[in-house]
Amino acid sequence: MTAGWDFPGPMRLDAPDLIDALREDLEAADFTPDAVEQLIGASAYGQLSREQLAPGRLALARLERPSALSVMTAWWLFAQPQTPAALAEAFPSLGLEGLAELGFLERDPLEAAPPSSSSESSAAERLRPAVDLRPHAGDDIGSIWIASDLGTHQLGRALDHDFVLGVGQASLTLAQAVIRRPAERALDLGTGCGIQLFHLLPHCDRVTATDLSVRALNFTAFNLLLNAETLRVFDDAGRPRAELLEGSLLEPVAGREFDLIVSNPPFVITPRQAAPAEDAPLPAGPAEEPRYTYRDGGMAGDRLVESLVRELPAALAPGGVAQMLGNWEIGADEPWDARPRTWVRPGTDAWLIQREEVDTLSYALTWLTDASQSWSPDELDEALARYEADFASRGVESVGFGMVLLRRPESPEAAWPHGSVFEEITHPIEQPVGPHLAAALSRRERLAASGAAASSLHLEAAEDVTEERHQRPGAEHPGVILARQGAGLRRTALLSS
């Protein structure tokens, strides 16, 4: 079966026999999240998400004998060069030639192993991985494998500007929040390596995935082919259920409507041609920071998120829902939702949850160090000054991060009766939170359909809500009464006044 995907990049897409052989070797080695965690230990495995590789490397070094699983784990997850013999033994079906043909072998000159008293040769060849491949699992998709570019913790250097991110924490946050109702047509806007697409396929008939990066679409196509059977990428007639389109934001799907839209867009705020203030000129240097396609949308400030909040509802079918992550700028002495409220167009139901707020300095330092770019002290000073001038030009003092849910009502009468919701929830919430959001959405839809006035409603506390009372020693009555939600968003409401 073929899907007609022809996106140039590091991965070969026209070699089904080689992809089948790779899948056979991965299955034989049991290259799954559970097996890797058991191999290196839960603690070392947990540190992988923090890009801390030393605990896992120590665990691998303590193994008495290598296995196909340990070689794959060391090679991909920890980017440790391996001997040709070790790789050949770990990939008996694919072999070294197959690894090279598919795009997994680094084609730079081979490294030599460091001298070792226990080694007969101090110059044994070592092969490096050219890209990353790691297992990923979910209750909805089972266990799959996802190829992407190697990260800074594996490369030991700054990222390339066309870097394709694997499964990051933001990706997992969005995947856990998506409402998994059956849908006929879904859109993954800015698919990257394809992670949201993979989680959409189990409950959507057809999924369209778009990205401005051809390299990202190449990885997505490869991942679909590698996991074709598990994800049911092809229907019974052999037609692909996933459509891949190149282009910016909604341009590739202009005029089309979807039942569900999911997006982890490149929302990072980066200075764009910031004009220096008269009393605080910018130091000499580039007018803007380097653009990384996986995180930077190329628009000033939070304009990209604003544009999506405004435009996504028009791409929804009646009753459709869009969910995304985003940043928004917060000015001095204004509530966090002052700007986002102005983005929601009439006729749209919106639910925005701010999960975090950071000052502009912390925000700038986070993203200046994200790509492991080497900064001299002078260069870092200049970069921070550009950020400072950029935020100051718009009166920004902090940046918020959170989740956005947008709904297109089936009719004006079906709009949420109490309007859009803007709330700040910075404490830990239940994961996955998607089922809770789905239940809350259903309740709002039923309320809108009933046409009942708030004064006529009979309210009942949910089963997970408990009451908490606080009083001073010896006091006859409590001074504070709280209602706590044990599941979902785990809100706390003050009942006393």
Tens digit of pLDDT for each residue in 409-419? 999 999 998 89
Most confident of 246-250, 413-417, 443-447: 246-250
* Mean pLDDT taken over the chain: 90
Ranking 71-75, 106-110, 469-473 by mean pLDDT, the lowest is 106-110
Please give the Cα distance from 273 to 46 (Å, whole number): 40
pLDDT in tens, 359-386: 999 999 999 988 777 788 888 899 999 9
Q: Give the residue among 388, 367, 361, 397 at the shortest CA–CA distance from 275.
A: 388
pLDDT score of 497: 66
pLDDT at 119: 42
Rg of the chain (C-alpha set): 25
Separation CA 256–CA 271 (nearest Å) = 33
> Residue 493 is encoded by which pair of tokens?
């409401």
Contact 294, 164 (CB under 8 A): yes
Q: What is the pLDDT of residue 112?
A: 44
How far is 466 from 484, CA to CA, in rounded Å? Answer: 5
pTM, two decimals, is: 0.91
Q: What is the pLDDT of residue 482?
A: 93
**Per-residue pLDDT tens digits for 283-336:** 433 445 567 888 898 899 999 999 999 999 999 999 999 999 999 999 999 999
How far apart CA 477 and CA 465 sit, in angstroms, is 21
487: burial class by Cβ within 10 Å (0-12, 13-18, 19+)? middle
113-122, 244-253, 426-435: range with lowest mean pLDDT: 113-122
* 212 CB-contact burial (10 Å; exposed 0-12 / middle 13-18 / buried 19+): middle
